[in-house]
Amino acid sequence: MIILFDLDGTLIDSTDAILESFHNSFDIHGSVHPSDEDIKKYIGYPLDVMYANLGVESGLIWDYVATYKEHYRKISTQKTTLLANAHEAVLQAKEFATLGIVTTKTARYSKVLMEHFELMDHFEVLIGREDVQNPKPHAEPILKALQKLDTQKKEIWMIGDTKLDLISAKNAAVNSIAVLSGYDTQETLKRHCDIVLIDALEAVKHLKNRKISHN
């Protein structure tokens, strides 16, 4: 079995780091700040899409993105936490599956975070925003991850907290489990996935039981 995890809202909570980095960029560029709730609505999308949705002029978006990344890099490890049960989820999953990360975060920062939490060694592949032309909900990030793994005769599952993860999985023709630990509502998730569970650990336990029953 192969299990691909999203990061934000699935294994980690970097909401504080994201919000602070957004507000810092609006400060530096002298713009009116969006509300925290408006920013949170778009977490999971690429940064340029987030800034566009928050009203930044198209010609300035990449300046904002650069400012965001500069600040985020400085604060990410201090302002990010593992979600409850995430550590245990990864350890249990590793016992019976090959693991990967598919995120819209920058891969470089994602790797630093997972090394900070001493979990990176459990993953065979990490695909981030700079690794693909088309981020989630496109199939490309998942397909790119699978190219680096032995998929022969293996069930493939994506675990994520937003519709972007679930649509990406569907587009890549892989299975998915939605978790309620992140940013989309149960109602939204149920529209895109048959299995909606509390968190990553519950998802991993579900897959472990599935593997046992199929053996």
pLDDT at 22: 98
Quick check: 71 pLDDT over 80?
yes
Taking the CA of residue 194 as centre, how many other CA atoms within 13 Å lie in the half-sphere pointing to its CB?
Answer: 4
Query: Contact, 121 vs 138, CB < 8 A?
Result: no
Segment (H or E) for 98: strand 98-102
Give ranges for CATH 3.40.50.1000 in the chain: 2-13+81-214
**pLDDT, tens only, 85-135:** 999 999 999 999 999 999 999 999 999 999 999 999 999 999 999 999 999
Task: Choose which CATH entry (1.10.150.240, 3.40.50.300, 3.40.50.720, 3.20.20.140) describes domain 15-75.
Answer: 1.10.150.240
Q: What is the mean pLDDT of the chain?
A: 96
pLDDT at 50: 96
pLDDT at 211: 84
pLDDT at 164: 96
Quick check: 215 pLDDT over 80?
no
Give ranges for CATH 1.10.150.240 in the chain: 15-75
Helix pair angle (61-75, 107-116), 10° resolution: 10
Distances 140 to 48, 53, 72, 147 between C-alpha atoms, Å: 18, 23, 25, 10
pLDDT at 20: 97
Q: Does domain 2-13+81-214 have CATH number 3.40.50.1000?
A: yes
pLDDT at 213: 83
214 pLDDT band, cuts 50/70/90, is confident
Taking the CA of residue 111 as centre, how many other CA atoms within 13 Å lie in the half-sphere pointing to its CB?
Answer: 12
DSSP structure string for 25-90: HHHHTT-PPPPHHHHHHTBTB-HHHHHHHTT--GGGHHHHHHHHHHHHHHHTTTT-EEPTTHHHHH
**pLDDT, tens only, 143-178:** 999 999 999 999 999 999 999 999 999 999 999 999
**pLDDT, tens only, 1-22:** 999 999 999 999 999 999 999 9
The percentage of the chain sitting over the pLDDT mark of 90, rounded to a whole number, equals 97
pLDDT at 212: 85
Q: Helix, strand, or coil here: 149? A: coil
Quick check: 80 pLDDT over 80?
yes
Quick check: 51 pLDDT over 80?
yes
